[in-house]
Structure 1
Amino acid sequence: MRKYSFYLILIMLVCSCKEDWLDIKSDISKIVPQTLADMRLLLNSATFNLNYTTLGEVAADNISLNAAQLAGGSAMERNAYVWEADIFAGSTVVTQWNSAYNQVFTANVVLEGLEKITDEITPGKQSEWNDLKGRALFYRARAHYDMLVMFTKPYAAVSAGNDPGIPLRLSSDIHAPVVRAGLQESYDQVISDLKSSLELLPTLPSHKTEPSKAGTEAMLARVYMAMGNYENALDYAEKALLRNSELIDYNTLTASTANPFAAYNAETIYFSRQATLGVIVNSGVDGALYASYTATDLRKALYFRSNMDGSYTFKASYAGSTLLFGGTASPEMYLIKAECLARKGETLPAMETLNTLLEKRYDDEDFVPLEAGGAEEALRTILAERRKELVFTGLRWQDLRRLNQDPRFAVTLVRSANNKEYRLEPGSNRYTFPIPDYIISSSGMAQNPR
């Protein structure tokens, strides 16, 4: 019963479907789609493009909440904002955990179904079979990576072999033991799934909500970046840019609109959204962050709107709405490429890459390409631009976890709330969220130290 209660959250999506083959029998593990159409129906579910982690945005240093905004948030949001030891406060439903493992479960159902019909696939159906398998592998990797960002220590090569990772679910068997893999094993599985999907997916998607080679290469660049593996991050960022190097000229946009950016725009490589948290929608922007945009930086007016109290709120999501973008896009790839080149000591190519992006972000008449006297200066400049460009895309929390391991870039976060000062030091255990209590009780896994 304890295992069943853990897996119950994984089958909610499946149980909500109406197809006959999804009629629930006494053994849920026997549910297997029978045709390619069945599998496509599962993988076309919007659940694969929704509910990616947002709590990192609450805990990072992009937002600023006044007393009323903080009080208006949920207990989970308030706890995350001040880095409490207990984030979920006994909640029996943590959407971002449940959603990720729903995706993993559904991907595994499809992968197992595909293997059962291998002999029946005609040459004319092989490309569709390949595409479905590639999608399922991509989705499984994407969901597992989301859990790594939230529920494990930041990756460090020297300790990853001994650090705990996440429960890796590689089958739909609800009776399989629920145990945490090692951190290195967890990252290796994500990379393996992504590389396997790369061989199967089309070069570009028919719609940007679908995985493709370009989207997979962008995800590999992101994962390797989080690992501090800058050689491979550079390789995959360059590959992704060969497939989509489009940049929107911000001079062509209208800052006075509610959101100047359309969903599925030219820069988007793979479209997904972060989970909806009301406190983010209503939050103010950190004052120092807002001040870092100069007057000729078009992002300042395009990204933010002013409030009655003189604060500013983010408005420019590539999701095309007040919801936050959680996918991959070409600006991230330019910034990964630039940073990795700077780390290799290739100052001029690094700055040329950065300026290719910034030329589309500044007023045409005022843009002056940035220069750097050496690799160290280039790296600092690129990291500053990375924060400004990728604001509210879910990446700042990942960057803090990565960069805090380098004393040159480590920062202590400080905020005031409830008449008290809170601090988050570099290397703190609170950069790793606790596993929800109901998962601990149903599985017997050890809790993350906080």
Structure 2
Amino acid sequence: MKRLILVVYLLITLGCDKKYLEAKPDRNLLVPVHLEDFQAILDNTADMNNSTYLNFVGADDYLTTNSGYQSASYLMQNAYLWKADIYQNSQTGDPVGDWSSCYKQVFNANVVLDGIDKLGGTADAKLAGVKGTALFFRAMAYFNLAQLFCKAYTTQGAANDAGIPIRLTADVNPRPARGTLTDTYRQIISDLESSLVIIAGNSNFKSRPSKLAVRALLARVYLAMGNYEQALFYAEAVLAESNSLLDYNTINATLARPFPAALPNGNAEVLFYSAMPSLAFLTSQQNSIHPEIYNAYSENDLRKQVFFIDRGNGIINFKGHYTGNVLLFAGLAIDEIYLTKSECLERLGRGAEAIACLNQLLIKRMKTGTYVAQVSTGSNLQLILTERRKELLYRNLRWMDLKRLNLEEATALVLTRTVNGVSYKLVPNSGLWVLPIPDNELIAGAVEQNIR
């Protein structure tokens, strides 16, 4: 294991700084060669199960106080207020967390994929399973990058909108250009479809993806693309095999952490574990749930007790993390799949089925005997989207949802924040919805900057 840690560390270091590209490491000492080595790379949860966070910082799940803002890093402050230049000194070579962590995941996945091919590809079931896992991680990293550094996907614009640099090998020397958003999503879907064929059907560790996790991510990807037929197909495929929801009547709402630990396998709703990093601003007690959301829960809605803790002075913190600890959950879970299915059914003109699906979720969130089933009115989209927002708080999905919903006039929103008496706005489809590429990446290769 010590040898493996050295291997990965050195390879990543070589890939992160151009001045090291000419170094010639001793391959006999540094390159992982055994199946166990490759599995260990993918089992490094600190790297592979780490999600982005700037999309959460910029979204509208919460508001922070003036003191909370003042105590945050410059990066958090700038992201919170949607500043055009959020990095300030990234040209010095300091890594930008979301960009570098995702490309570290891509690099690790590519190390595994290159190595598996040398070991014989997918002829062996264990090799195939590890390869499928690597493809999943690469796809998720690219999808997370696209939510931050690309425009929302549209069928009309994707062929011309900039994507992200796609690396398909562990060789750090090529510096690929960004390509188009079509190229990016085509690669994500290709990786997931290939993974689905060979990955293990089940996993005893939620940190390892399974076929269910692959289908769940495909449902999310297609929802982000506005392809509701395909999103529905994969959502239904997940629920056909696993549709169990937690009954919140059985959850002890008085606990500081009401939900069981997701790792290794404690939360039945969790399909795949991923979490935002342990950063002070993300878990600050100065961050309060947006009052519009809090006031949307009825008194019989158990989420109002399970999700929140009132600190006084108008501050209400979120505590309902599906990680089961202080970290913010950013993985895949069954409740998201119900909501994806419901939205897709509604958008495809199957309103009664959409509401029936929504009712299956909501009855598990209300006090026993109090839930009155929703009835389809012929126009259910706003109800479904409201319930999606209430259910998926602090899951790192809101930024994705806001970007795709801003494409429609009926669901577009203007975000507002006030700090030290000064108000700030983020209007739909502004260039500020797309984060700038870190300056050091522009210096290192042929990557074009986003226009902010």
TM > 0.5 between the two? yes
CA distance in 1, matches of 2:197, 2:50: 27
Give distance in 2, aligned partners of 1:444 and 1:421: 37
Q: Give matches, 1:353-392, under 5 Å.
A: 353-374=357-378, 376=379, 378-392=380-394
Cα deviation digits, residues 240-270 of structure 1 (max 9, x gap): 1122211000001111100101122000001
Deviation at 1:232, TM superposition (A): 0.3
Q: Distance in 2 between the 1:268 and 1:351 partners?
A: 23
Distance 1:163 1:40, change over 3 A: same
Aligned counterpart, 2:155: 157
Match of 2:258 among 242, 257, 260: 260
Among 86, 101, 104, the residue aligned to 2:103: 101
Letter in 1 for 2:443: S
- Is the CA contact (8 Å cut-off) linking 1:54 and 1:277 kept in structure 2? no
Distance 2:50 2:436 in 1: 18
What RMSD in Å do the two structures reach over aligned CA positions? Answer: 1.9
1:48–1:139 Cα contact (<8 Å) kept: no
Structure 1 stretches lacking a partner, 5+ long: 1-9, 17-23
Give the aligned partner of residue 352 of structure 2.
Answer: 348
* Correspondent of 1:138 among 118, 121, 136: 136
Partner amino acid, structure 1, of 2:400 = Q
* Distance 1:287-1:275 versus aligned 2 partners, 3 A rule: same
CA contact (8 A) 1:338 1:350 kept: yes
Aligned CA distance change for structure 1 residues 26 and 279 (closer, same or farther; 3 Å) = closer
1:28 and 1:149, CA in 2 relative to 1: closer, same or farther beyond 3 A?
Answer: farther
Q: How many residues align?
A: 428
User: Which residue number corresponds to residue 281 of structure 1?
Assistant: 283
Aligned structure 1 segments of 4 or more residues deviating by more than 2 angstroms: 10-16, 24-33, 47-51
| Aligned match of 2:208 | 210
Counterpart contact for 2:42–2:48, Cα < 8 Å: no
Measure the CA separation in 1 of the matches of 2:394 and 2:152. 20
SS of residue in 2 equivalent to 1:307: strand
Matching residue's letter, 2:417: R
What are the Cα deviations for residues 157-187 of structure 1, in whole angstroms up to 9, with x where unaligned? 1010011100101011111123112110000
Aligned 1:157-236 pairs, distance under 5 A: 157-236=155-234
Q: Aligned pair in 2 of structure 1 residues 418, 439: CA closer, same or farther (>3 Å)?
A: farther
Please name the residue that 1:330 is paired with. Answer: 334
Separation in 1, partners of 2:22, 2:369: 67
* Maintained 8 Å contact 1:165/1:186: yes
Task: Give the aligned partner of residue 83 of structure 2.
Answer: 84
1:58-94 deviation line (CA, Å, top 9, x unaligned)? 1111111110011111111111111100111223121
Single out whichever of 30-39 and 223-232 deviates more from structure 2.
30-39
1:184-239: per-residue Cα shift (whole Å, max 9, x none)? 00000000000000000122212111111000000000000000010000000111
Structure 1 residue 295 corresponds to structure 2 residue 299: yes
* One-letter identity of the residue aligned with 1:173: D
| Letter of the structure 2 residue corresponding to residue 285 of structure 1 | I
Letter in 2 for 1:223: V
Amino acid at match of 1:275: P
| TM-score normalised over the length of structure 1 | 0.92
Scaled by the length of structure 2, the TM-score of the pair is: 0.91
2:69 corresponds in structure 1 to 70
TM-aligned CA distance change 1:13 to 1:386, over 3 Å: farther
Structure 1 pair 235/404, CA: closer, same or farther in 2 (3 Å)?
same
Q: 2 CA distance for matches of 1:62 and 1:135? A: 31
Q: 1:215 touches 1:269 (CA, 8 Å); kept in 2?
A: yes
Unaligned runs of 5+ in 2: 1-6, 14-20
The answer as to whether partners of 1:259 and 1:316 remain within 8 angstroms in 2 is yes
| Number of the residue aligned with 2:60 | 61
1:420 alignment counterpart? 422
State percent identity of aligned pairs.
40
Deviation string, structure 1 residues 315-334 (Cα, Å, up to 9, x no partner)? 11001111100100000000
CA distance in 2, matches of 1:161, 1:25: 35
